[in-house]
């Protein structure tokens, strides 16, 4: 898991540390060259050792050093956020990874339409990468099991929350 952050994001990085602990993955935090590395480590407290910090330009580091990342989290407060999102989507595990942008309200949501993303009004706004079915034919997980999946979106009438469900179906044999 890779996070490209504009500043100290202790709670968000801690969330990735918890997820990495559950999945056996690693967390890499890419910070801009002028960031305060010490403050970032202090924000994580005892969990700072669970994160590999890298100082540099995220749009060049992502495709060069982290092209196999299965999850990339991009701070939309980055000055070159569009370029970082583009680099993340182009390299994310060769089209099989998930790219999420956070703090999307800070830049406005109108520019998100140029990417294959879905805007969700959660927290400060999320951009979630959705793959175009025409780009990647998927048979449900890519493990050769022949299962197909379908995403269903519903809106809760009481709360207004958007819920997304993945329904997996087995292929029907035709005799």
Per residue in 47-73, pLDDT tens? 999 999 999 999 999 988 988 888 899
Instruction: Check: CB of residue 4 under 8 Å from CB of residue 28.
Output: no
For residue 154, what pLDDT is reported? Answer: 84
Backbone angles phi, psi at 76, to 5 degrees: -70, -5
Q: Tell me the pairing of strands 126-129 and 98-102.
A: antiparallel
User: What's the order of all strands across the beta sheet hosting 98-102?
Assistant: 51-55, 27-31, 2-4, 71-75, 98-102, 126-129, 117-120
Domains within the chain, CATH numbers bracketed: 2-129 (3.40.50.150), 138-175 (no CATH)
For residue 13, what pLDDT is reported? Answer: 92
For residue 175, what pLDDT is reported? Answer: 52
If the chain, 175 residues long, is cut into consecutive pieces of 10 residues, what is the mean pLDDT of each piece? 87 91 91 88 91 93 87 90 84 70 74 66 81 44 53 83 76 56
Instruction: Check: CB of residue 74 under 8 Å from CB of residue 62.
Output: no
């Amino acid at each position: 898991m890779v996070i490209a952050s504009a500043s100290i994001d202790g709670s968000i990085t801690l969330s990735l540390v918890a997820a990495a602990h559950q999945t056996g993955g690693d967390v890499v935090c890419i910070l801009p060259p002028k960031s305060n590395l010490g403050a970032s480590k202090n924000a994580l407290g005892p969990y700072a050792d669970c994160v590999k910090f890298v100082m540099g330009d995220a749009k060049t580091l992502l495709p060069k050093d982290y092209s196999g990342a299965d999850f990339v989290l991009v701070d939309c407060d980055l000055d070159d956020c569009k370029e970082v999102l583009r680099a993340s989507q182009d390299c994310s595990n060769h089209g099989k990874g998930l790219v999420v942008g956070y703090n999307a309200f800070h830049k406005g949501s109108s520019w998100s339409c140029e990417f294959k993303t879905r805007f969700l009004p959660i927290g400060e706004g999320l951009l979630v990468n959705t793959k175009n079915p025409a780009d990647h034919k998927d048979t449900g997980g890519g493990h050769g099991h022949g299962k197909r999946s379908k995403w269903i979106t519903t809106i809760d009438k009481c709360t207004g929350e958007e819920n997304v469900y993945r329904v997996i179906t087995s292929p029907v044999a035709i005799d």
